[in-house]
Structure 1
Amino acid sequence: MNKFTTKIAAALSFGLVAAGAQADEIRIPVNSWTGQNLSAHIAGQLLEKLDHEVEYVTAGAVPQLAAMAQGTLHFQPEFWDNNVGDIYPDALAVGDIVIVGPLGLQSREGWIYPPYMEEQCPGLPAYEALYDCAQAFAAADTFPNGRLITYPADWGTRSRDLVAALDLPFQPVAGGSEGAMIAELRSAVAAQQPMLMMFWEPHWLFAEFDFNWIEWDAPENGVCDESNQTRGDACGFAQANVGKLVNRDFAETWPDAYALAEAFTMDNASQNEMILQVDQQGMSVEDAAAGWIAENEEIWTPWIEAARAAQD
């Protein structure tokens, strides 16, 4: 942990409000993945330029919402709205949590493959090509069916369910872990071997390698219902929205910080590169965030100016 190690993380884990937490500190939750950590530290370092004291609080994706509703946490700069439980819509409805706006990240989940597979399966990236060239993705233990690497078993069965619903000639094989999945991708690309895998973005992988995505039918009303899909009407996977949240009193308590929160954005390419620096090159989250700030002054300077104007 860094010098901003939380004084209330343990309390949060039991759903308690921390005693002795200072009212003038802006407390930012830190979740369990690198991309969110980077957004948190970039936002925090920019808030420090406005002379705010910032505290980073380790908090789970669902428990953080109760803490924000209670006012124990204040500003979440990168919030993914999938798998968040019941408290989120309830807290929004009564105004305990406020959506500031989209962060700018374009989240994506789905099946990826190396571009060289399009020579062996010319109908790609359309998912219906998979019916005709499953054998191009086959392995010795799945032939004549194609081999699809899915998320680890404890991450759910979404890919397996979709294969069954669409009667695709593929055999889903659960990845052992994120690390094991990445190792298999690396090996396949190095040997130009068949590969189809469930994955997500933003991720450092896309800063180092080129992958294409299987494309699906357009979802009805722009929202993919994963539970009811058939061939010819298959939207694939629902995509999360990535936004920024504050607690009820944030704008009134820190109008300049709220203006910064409104202006703050992040794009996939920038975050992918920083995740690569942290996860693969050994850089700390703090240093990667500071590096982004040092290299992108023209981007964040208007944010600081807008924040200072709101303070006047």
Structure 2
Amino acid sequence: MTVLMASAAIIAMTAPVASADSPDPIVIPIHNWSSQNVMSHVVGQIFDSIGNSVEYVSTDSQAVYESIRLGDVALEVEVWEGAYGASFDAAVEKGGVHAVGEHDAVTREDWWYPLWTKEACPGLPDWQALNACAALFATPETGDKGRFLGGPVDWLKHDQERVDALGMDFVVINAGSAAALWASLAAAERTRKPIVLFNWTPNFAEAVWPGEFVEFPEWVAGCNTDPSIGPNPDVTYDCGNPADGYLKKAAWDGMKDKWPTAYAVLSNVSFTNPQIAEMARLVDIDGMEPEDAAAHWLDQNVDIWTAWTN
């Protein structure tokens, strides 16, 4: 019996008996990082257990808020403040999408390095010390400038804008996926080569590779839109990302009427930093498929998720 089959049997025994809110499936978007994949399947398998059908669709992580607003997908389980807050807020202003509460998790997304990098550049985590050490991070691709390995382009982290705003001697190279970030980090570990790359918390990586975030000028509201805010009065993006960002859930305005039981469950769902890191680890370290990792998590955390269904 597979993990998914075993968990389905457990869910069937523990979830309350219910009929479908609607004959139409609840469409859940899937993006290009592991915790979102697993969490989406956790929520979807719970919806399925209470009588609803679910469909998963691969969706751009920025455009998804427009899709939710139009009702093409029903929800989003991970709205990260740093990466997606602007896209989410723009969709909310247009109408049709709203926040369904926040997770307990506190997020941070920014430039990051493993601790062996600090041995080569001891002024870290200060960003100016990093910049003084830029040559340590040079590659044939970047010439005499340092390489910053950013996340996929569609995560829209504005790293190049920050480099330009702060006058840093770095070139931003975007990885094609989260997996490519971890592969580069693992390769650097083998030779203890200094590396600075995009990372985030909660995430499994913090347990595998101890490290620190680079400390840029403190983020304040308006830093990304108003040149007068931040140390450089002529440009935007001259600051770091929020160090204690939110992680929200979002839903189509019509979800609460079309799928009221599922909407009530979504309202109750709340994950912590360790839970989210564990979900990512199941995929990125243990090699599980997201749907199997979700089934495993449900199997190991029955008391938590059944409370959400009550």
| TM-score (normalised: structure 1) | 0.72
Tell whether 2:170 aligns with 1:171. Answer: yes
Listed one character per residue, the Cα deviations across residues 16-74 of structure 1 (whole Å, up to 9, x for unaligned) are: xxxxxx93345132223232221211111222332333333343345544443344433
Percent identity (aligned):
26
> 1:128 aligns to what SS in structure 2?
helix
Letter of the 1:209 partner, please give it.
Answer: W
Shift of 1:159: 2.8
C-alpha spacing 1:267/1:159, structure 2 compared with 1 (3 Å):
same
Query: In structure 2, what residue type is equivalent to 1:41?
Result: H
Closer, same or farther: CA 270–225 of 1 in aligned 2, 3 Å: same
Q: Which residue of 2 aligns with 1:54?
A: 54
Q: Give the corresponding residue for 2:17.
A: none
2:301 corresponds, among 292, 296, 300, to 296
Partner of 1:249: 254
Counterpart of 2:205 in structure 1 is 205
User: Any conservation in 1 of the 2:217–2:231 contact (CA below 8 Å)?
Assistant: no
1:287 matched to 2:286? The reply is no
Task: Give the CA deviation at 1:133.
Answer: 4.2
Distance of aligned partners of 1:133 and 1:142 in 2 relative to their CA distance in 1, 3 Å threshold: farther
Q: Which has the higher contact order (CA 8 A, sep 6+)?
A: 2
Equivalent pair of 1:26/1:74 in contact (CA under 8 Å) = no
Q: C-alpha distance in 2, partners of 1:249/1:144?
A: 52
Greater displacement, 111-120 / 233-242? 233-242
Kept in 2: contact 1:207–1:269 (CA 8 A)? no
What is the aligned counterpart of 1:236 among 240, 245, 254? 240
Measure the CA separation in 1 of the matches of 2:208 and 2:201.
Answer: 13
Kept in 1, the 8 Å contact 2:110–2:240? The answer is yes
* AA in 1 matched with 2:56: Y
The 1:301–1:83 alpha-carbon spacing in structure 2 relative to 1, beyond 3 Å, is closer
State how far apart, in whole Å, the 1-side matches of 2:94 and 2:152 are.
Answer: 36
Distance 1:36 1:128, change over 3 A: same
Aligned residue for 1:198, secondary structure, equals strand
Q: Is the 8 A contact 2:73 2:252 kept in 1?
A: yes
Q: 1: CA distance between counterparts of 2:73 and 2:137?
A: 49
Q: Is the 8 A contact 1:126 1:215 kept in 2?
A: yes
**Partner of 2:224 in structure 1?**
225
In 1, the alpha carbon distance for the partners of 2:61 and 2:175 equals: 23
Q: 1:109·1:198 contact (CA, 8 Å) conserved in 2?
A: yes
Q: Secondary structure at 1:99's aligned position in 2? A: strand
2:108 and 2:200 in contact (8 A); partners too:
yes
**How far apart in 1 are the matches of 2:172 and 2:286?**
29
1:159 and 1:227 map into 2 onto residues whose CA distance is 17
Instruction: Judge conservation of contact 1:28–1:40 (CA < 8 Å) in 2.
Output: no
Conservation of the 8 A alpha-carbon contact between 2:39 and 2:279: no
Query: What is the aligned partner in structure 2 of residue 308 from structure 1?
Result: none
CA distance in 1, matches of 2:308, 2:190: 43
- Measure, in 1, the Cα distance between the counterparts of 2:139 and 2:66: 49
Cα separation, 2, equivalents of 1:138 and 1:103: 36
Structure number, greater radius of gyration: 1
Match of 1:118 in 2: 118
Q: CA RMSD in A?
A: 3.8
2:276 is the alignment partner of 1:277:
no
Q: Contact 1:111–1:196 at 8 Å: present in 2 too?
A: yes
CA pair 253-246 structure 1, distance change in 2 beyond 3 A = same
| 8 Å contact kept, 1:147–1:196 | no
Query: SS at 2:215's partner residue?
Result: coil
User: What is the Cα deviation at residue 293 of structure 1?
Assistant: 1.0
Task: Look up the equivalent residue of 1:24 and give its one-letter code.
Answer: P
How far residue 196 of structure 1 moved from its aligned partner, in angstroms, is: 1.8
| 1:264 CA displacement | 0.4
AA at the equivalent of 2:146: R
Higher alpha-carbon deviation: 59-68 or 43-52: 59-68
Distance in 1, Cα, partners of 2:174 & 2:55: 36
CA distance in 2 between counterparts of 1:271 and 1:206 reads 12
TM-score (ref. length: structure 2): 0.73
Does the 8 Å contact 1:68/1:247 carry over to 2? yes
3-state DSSP of counterpart to 1:220: coil
Maintained 8 Å contact 1:112/1:198 = yes
Aligned residues: 281
Runs of at least 5 residues in structure 1 that lack an aligned partner in the other structure: 4-21, 306-312
CA distance in 1, matches of 2:282, 2:52: 27
Q: State which drifts further: 184-193 or 125-134.
A: 125-134
166 and 154 in structure 1: CA distance in 2 versus 1, 3 angstrom threshold: same
